[in-house]
Amino acid sequence: MGETRIKRRVQCPQCAEKFYAISVWGCCPHCGYEAEEPDDTVISLPAIRAATTKATDKVYRDMETASIHRAEQAAAMAGVPVSEMSHLKITNLRDNVQNGETYAMPPPPNNPVTQQMELMKQRGMPVGFIGNPNVGTGPTDAARSGGRVLDAINPNSRANPLGATFK
């Protein structure tokens, strides 16, 4: 029995005509443009876009466009600049929603931990790892940043029973 050959729909980069071919490399039947297959040192990633991905992206874009239109209409009705109605614009939708959930991003958490962090920020104290003097920001500091934080919490954390210290 013969080998199954799959034809792909490709588009010529020269004349933009679409045609079916066994490989994306080869000759365009319309204009004669010849695409050469790259050597083994080139890692190519084709633009794979399915109809479902395209449809989903269009839904999100249409929702964002409609929200901009609603903000403009609300500003016209209220007689204020559009910038005052910018909170009506959708700019960030969740893409992993489940049944019963909304697409809107949830509000930031407000609990005792976040309240304490906000209080520390107001007092000028470092909060988290950003701006913390015990954490480096360079590429070589990333591997050692956890050790610095651990040292700040417990200076004896790197000591071992033999008394050796690790770098």
Over the stretch 148-166, which tens digit does the pLDDT of each residue have? 666 777 766 666 555 555 5
Distance, CA of 132 to chain centre: 26
Q: What pLDDT is attached to residue 146?
A: 64
Asked whether residue 43 carries a pLDDT value surpassing 80, the answer given is no
Asked whether residue 138 carries a pLDDT value surpassing 60, the answer given is no
**pTM of the entire predicted model:** 0.35
The residue ranges of DSSP E strands in the chain, in sequence order, are 8-11, 18-21, 26-27, 34-35
Asked whether residue 141 carries a pLDDT value surpassing 80, the answer given is no
Instruction: Give the integer Cα–Cα distance in Å for 20 and 9.
Output: 4
Q: Where residue 76 falls among pLDDT bands split at 50, 70, 90?
A: very high
φ and ψ at residue 30, rounded to 5 degrees: -90, -50
Asked whether residue 4 carries a pLDDT value surpassing 80, the answer given is no
Average pLDDT of the segment spanning 62-81: 91
Asked whether residue 140 carries a pLDDT value surpassing 70, the answer given is no
Instruction: Give the integer Cα–Cα distance in Å for 43 and 36.
Output: 14
